[in-house]
Amino acid sequence: MADVHLLEATVVVVEEHVSFTLPALCRACGAEPELLESMVSEGLLRPAGQGPADWQFAGDALPQARRAARLARDLELDLPAVVLVMDLLAEIDRLRARLARFA
Amino acid sequence: MDFKDYYATLGVEPGATHDEIRRAYRKLARKFHPDVSSEPDAEARFKEVAEAHEALIDVERRAAYDEIARRHAGGQTFEPPPGWDSGFEFSGAGPGGMPGRDDGDGPGDAADFSQFFESLFGRSAPGGEPGARRGRSGGGPAQGRDHHAKVAIELPDAYRGGRRTISLRLPVRDAAGQVRLQERQLEVVIPKGVRPGQHLRLAGQGAAGHGGAPAGDLYLEIEILPHPVFRIDGADIQFDLPLAPWEAALGATVTVPTPDGSVQLDVPPASSQGRRLRLKGKGLAGKVPGDLYAVLSIALPPSVSDSDKAAYRAFAQAFAGYTARTALED
């Protein structure tokens, strides 16, 4: 049953070494381009490049976009609300990290 | 298999209206959604809630579920009667095929729904039907879908890098159209310095492509298991370093642990409780490597025997003018 594959050559850390075009990010997130384009217009994702055809997203756009898509879907939120939730979650993370440092 | 009471999961009466079901779902989703919740079992609870919502919010599924629930006697294990659904007509695909419910994409995922749900409503096989994707209905070459999974690794593996064998379960559709979980094991190289929440991409390890197109990729989200000594803070790592009072006061060279073995650390004289001593570059590796911090904590020797007590009395006499509570005085 168990195939063991050796994958040494192909493992990369997305946040450090990967950038995505719009179609690649859509595929990686399982999201439609329209959703990611609205995330860009809400300022949630900040790709380099002039328009959708040249956009290059940094690796950390993947977890951001996936989290935003989950929140929108599961909590039935519109994107401005998702942006607010994500800002607040980021703030909570920062505060928890500070708390851990001084605990 | 156990019968699932979806109404109880959502905390509503079986006669609840559509709006009551929606409201109950939203309230529980806000409470248990793993992205926002700090409840310990948030992910499992949210899956239950999402499944119950999926079953009851759809008029056709709810009618079918109610019919089964009527025939089911409480406390029994549940087997769907053969052909039970012959009287129902479902207008759409299973939840895996519903818009916005992508497989492999998080806790509310159809791929995670229970066997009970599947036995009633079926599901589409994630990754098995690229032709069903929007815009891909032509049946031409289509790259396989990307998959996501979480893996938990030990802190020393993240610190040093290493190989770990991980097991993944992937829903696949067999020749008879049945969905099965296929287990596979991958030996993955953990890059040195990977941080919690970062993702590894394994090219070509997602779903197979169609019509000669390449396979999708597999993304692994890294979770680092809690370590008894070390705590991760971004790229930095910290640990508590207990010192005897005289070590803190007079300075000392002490042996301290790092995730990569012990090192000697000079504690400067007059070190106070909570002071952080930095071992530069000994945190997690990366473009900007993190630091390792020893957070000093002063340990009091026990005062049990007469000679212990005599030592404390001599200490008190030597510091007769000292008050520990200056911060509390006016």
Shared domain check, B158 and B66:
no
Contacts of A101 in chain B (CB under 8 A): 233, 238
Whether A6 and chain B come into contact, CB under 8 Å, resolves to yes
In a domain, B99, yes or no: yes
Shared domain check, B84 and B23:
yes
Shared domain check, B116 and B27:
yes
In a domain, A6, yes or no: no
Contacts of A5 in chain B (CB under 8 A): 184-187, 205
In a domain, A94, yes or no: yes
Q: Cα torsion at B41, B44, B48, B51 (round to 10°)?
A: 140
pLDDT of amino acid B327: 84
Q: Where does the pLDDT of residue A85 fall: very low under 50, low under 70, confident under 90, or very high at 90 and above?
A: very high
Task: Kindly provide the ipTM of the predicted complex, given to two decimals.
Answer: 0.81
Shared domain check, B105 and B31:
yes
Query: What span, in angstroms and rounded, lies between the C-alpha atoms of B117 and B170?
Result: 18
Mean per-residue pLDDT for A95-101? 82
| Number of cross-chain residue pairs from A and B with Cβ atoms under 8 Å apart | 121
In a domain, A55, yes or no: yes
CA A50 to chain B, closest CA, distance in angstroms equals: 25
- B144-171 burial, b if ≥16 CB within 10 A, otherwise e? bbbbbbebebebebbbeeeeeebebebb
A67 with B185: Cβ contact below 8 A: no
- B27-40 burial, b if ≥16 CB within 10 A, otherwise e? ebbeebbbbbbeee
Domain range for residue B256? 231-328
Shared domain check, B218 and B315:
no
A66 with B134: Cβ contact below 8 A: no
Amino acid (one-letter) located at A40:
V
pLDDT of amino acid B141: 80
B199 with A15: Cβ contact below 8 A: yes
Domain range for residue A31? 12-102
In a domain, A7, yes or no: no
Tally of structural domains, chain B: 3
A6, A67, A76 member nearest B35 (Cβ):
A67
- Average pLDDT score over chain B: 82
Domain finish residue from B193, B224, B255: B224
pLDDT of amino acid B149: 87
Whether A31 and chain B come into contact, CB under 8 Å, resolves to yes
Contacts of A13 in chain B (CB under 8 A): 191, 194, 198-200
CA angle at B204 for the pair A53 and B155, rounded to the nearest 5°: 105
Shared domain check, B12 and B96:
yes
The model carries a pTM of 0.72
For the domain that residue B83 is a member of, what is the CATH number?
1.10.287.110
In a domain, A3, yes or no: no
Shared domain check, B239 and B172:
no
Choose the mutation target among B181, B219, B231, B288 for the interface with A, i.e. most A CBs under 10 Å: B219
CA B102 to chain A, closest CA, distance in angstroms equals: 6
Domain finish residue from B93, B124, B155: B124
The residue to which tokens 């008879």 are assigned: B176
Shared domain check, B112 and B10:
yes
pLDDT of amino acid B95: 42
Contacts of A71 in chain B (CB under 8 A): 33, 35-36
A7, A12, A30 member nearest B104 (Cβ):
A30
A5, A66, A71 member nearest B186 (Cβ):
A5
For the domain that residue B213 is a member of, what is the CATH number?
2.60.260.20
A4 with B197: Cβ contact below 8 A: no
pLDDT of amino acid B179: 66
In a domain, B133, yes or no: no
Tally of structural domains, chain A: 1
Task: Single out the residue of B250, B249, B279 nearest to residue B264, CA to CA.
Answer: B279
pLDDT of amino acid B86: 54
pLDDT of amino acid B4: 86
Shared domain check, B198 and B96:
no
In a domain, B1, yes or no: no
Contacts of B146 in chain A (CB under 8 A): 27-28, 30
A63 with B188: Cβ contact below 8 A: no
Shared domain check, B279 and B220:
no
In a domain, A1, yes or no: no
Per-residue pLDDT of chain B (330 residues; tens, 9 = 90+): 778 899 999 999 999 999 999 999 999 999 999 888 888 889 889 999 999 999 999 888 898 888 888 877 665 666 666 655 555 555 444 443 333 333 444 444 445 677 788 777 765 433 333 333 334 445 678 888 888 888 889 999 999 998 888 888 776 667 776 667 778 888 888 999 999 989 999 988 888 888 888 888 999 999 999 999 999 988 999 999 999 999 999 999 999 999 989 999 999 999 999 999 999 999 999 888 999 999 999 999 999 999 999 999 999 999 998 988 988 877
For the domain that residue A65 is a member of, what is the CATH number?
1.10.1660.10
In a domain, A37, yes or no: yes
Tell me the pLDDT tens digit for each residue of A4-58: 555 544 688 999 889 999 999 999 998 899 999 999 999 999 999 999 999 999 9
Domain finish residue from B205, B224, B243: B224
The residue to which tokens 């990977």 are assigned: B194
pLDDT of amino acid B85: 59
In a domain, B72, yes or no: yes
Choose the mutation target among B27, B102, B275, B288 for the interface with A, i.e. most A CBs under 10 Å: B102
Shared domain check, B276 and B186:
no
